[in-house]
Structure 1
Amino acid sequence: MSRTVLITGATGTVSTALMNALEGADVKLRTLVRDESKAKGLREQGTEAYVGDLDDPGSLPPAFEDVHDVWLLTPNGPRAPENNMNAVWAARQAGVERIVRLSVVGAAHDAPNRSGRLHALSDQEIERSGMRWTILRPHWFMQNLLNEAADITATGTFSLNMDSARLGMIDVRDIAETAARVLLDDPDRHHGHTYTLTGPRSLTFDQVAHHLAAALDRPVTYLPSSDDAKRKTLLGYGVPKWIVDMLEEYAQAYASGWGDFTTDTVADLLGRPPRDIADFARGHAETFTP
């Protein structure tokens, strides 16, 4: 009998990639979104969609009923542990067997960023939930570079406040395919495991610019910026101050060398190496092209 998998954060980058990775698999997909318009769009694509908000525990029970596995993704914000708690409670009440949770790289009670510390609280709750569980902690997403597409297209440059940081950055598709592998395997196989997911090598943003330039066949240059300059830009785009503060904490940690590492986990779980930055650049070249 097919297992029913509930996908939270269903319209987000990772969850969308996960649904693509699960396409054609012997599972019944169910999605949870916050507003009816997004649910309608998913239903039109043939996906079972429920409207509910992780801020509102009373809205969750219908989506969790008869679910075997939950892909749990909570939005970044100060209420993230509360959102996780509400989902875990709904899952427990519904008799869910397994939670596969998307955490963050370096989640720990002494992480140098508020996101890592908040995720550590939720990870610990999952570990003590009484259900089978697996936690995924992915490194910096290569897809974050898509936020720089407008500048790269217009000027051939992009600016980040990470100085000469090296990061074991990962393609979101590899996160999704790893999550799909976990969800499709026997629930006991990955129970109790926390997997840190990275790309194949640690890269500077000068190296990223080099690979983007090769894919686009034109110069691309990385221009390090100050924290203040990046803060002003993000606030100007309307990014909430809490998120801006969180991103600055990550940038400072990465600039100090905190993200300079890789793991073999993706290769071990998928039986192939993770995608390289060159693969990402070629695959997204149109996004960076005028």
Structure 2
Amino acid sequence: MADLFQPAFSTTTPTDATAALVALMDAVSPYYRFRWQTLCGIPRIRLEGTDRDWRPPGGTGAGAGGVCAYFFTNLLFDVEGLSQGILTTAFDPDHPMPWVDPRDIGDVVAARLLSDTWQGRLVQAVHGPEDLTFHQVAQTLTEALGRPVRLDLVSDDGVRDALRAAGLPPSAVEGIVGMTAGSRDLVPEQARDLLTTTPTRLSGWAHAHLRPLLGR
């Protein structure tokens, strides 16, 4: 059935096909229950254009980018699972990784754009306040949400099955699974330091944004 809604033009790209399926999933959401999990969100923000487009008053910056980590907001895609006390992941549960609030990324980008201390192209890592394992995330959510949260570990094949069941095309399925697999041993481009560490903690974010969605 999903194939009937797929764009089949000669100019259709994998991105177009994925976008059409996401729109279809939203349209049929009142009739079906499904959930899926994003990975690291947008791994890099690059502002493109001319030097004139992005130069702050009195500055010389041409474009800035931010390399980020696992988004807090990825958890919003699994509200149903969290309401049942389950945090699903295909990541190594013992591997620490940066967790970050996307709003902190926006603050970093804004600060860079308003600064006249750089020019050309700049890549700025955004690592959040601390590296966390998924075991630590489950414990943090347990405390912040006021309910037990346990990990549900799934294999790459389990992720494939869930994405296929949701109607994603093979290219999108393999892209998402590949991102997960490739991120397991990922070494950040920039090491954590004072500049890459941002303030918003997962516990406070979860209490403010997740807990109301779960009715507590």
- Structure 2: any 5+ residue segments left out of the alignment? 1-40, 56-60
Equivalent residue, structure 1, for 2:213: 287
Q: Secondary structure at the match of 1:206?
A: helix
CA distance in 2, matches of 1:170, 1:140: 6
- State TM-score, norm by structure 1: 0.50
User: Contact 2:64–2:109 at 8 Å: present in 1 too?
Assistant: no
CA distance in 1, matches of 2:192, 2:152: 24
1:193 equivalent among 107, 110, 122: 122
After TM superposition, list the pairs within 5 Å mapping 1:138-149 onto structure 2. 138-149=68-79
- Identity fraction in percent: 24
Equivalent residue, structure 1, for 2:54: 98
Cα pair distance change 1:255/1:274, threshold 3 Å:
same
Give how far 1:279 is off. Answer: 1.8
After TM superposition, list the pairs within 5 Å mapping 1:21-40 onto structure 2. none
- Structure 1: any 5+ residue segments left out of the alignment? 1-74, 77-83, 100-130, 268-272
Equivalent residue, structure 2, for 1:51: none
CA distance in 1, matches of 2:161, 2:205: 28
Q: Secondary structure at the match of 2:82?
A: helix
User: Contact 1:174–1:266 at 8 Å: present in 2 too?
Assistant: no
CA deviation profile, 1:44-89 (whole Å, cap 9, x unmatched): xxxxxxxxxxxxxxxxxxxxxxxxxxxxxxx98xxxxxxx8xx95x
Cα pair distance change 1:255/1:236, threshold 3 Å:
same
CA deviation profile, 1:214-269 (whole Å, cap 9, x unmatched): 1111100111111111121123223443333222222223333646x6443345xx
Equivalent residue, structure 2, for 1:213: 142
Between 1:217-226 and 1:157-166, the stretch displaced more is 157-166
- Paired residue type of 1:274: P
CA distance in 2, matches of 1:167, 1:193: 23
2:172 equivalent among 223, 238, 243: 243
Cα pair distance change 1:167/1:190, threshold 3 Å:
farther
CA distance in 1, matches of 2:97, 2:73: 13
- Paired residue type of 2:162: T
Cα pair distance change 1:288/1:253, threshold 3 Å:
farther
CA distance in 1, matches of 2:187, 2:196: 20
Q: How many residues align?
A: 166
Equivalent residue, structure 1, for 2:184: 255
- Paired residue type of 1:235: R
After TM superposition, list the pairs within 5 Å mapping 1:227-242 onto structure 2. 227-242=156-171
Q: What RMSD over aligned residues (CA atoms) do the two structures have, in Å?
A: 3.1
The yes-or-no answer on 1:275 pairing with 2:204 is: no
CA distance in 2, matches of 1:148, 1:262: 28
Q: Secondary structure at the match of 2:100?
A: coil
Cα pair distance change 1:206/1:193, threshold 3 Å:
same
Cα pair distance change 1:148/1:197, threshold 3 Å:
same
CA distance in 1, matches of 2:63, 2:215: 42
User: Contact 1:160–1:223 at 8 Å: present in 2 too?
Assistant: yes
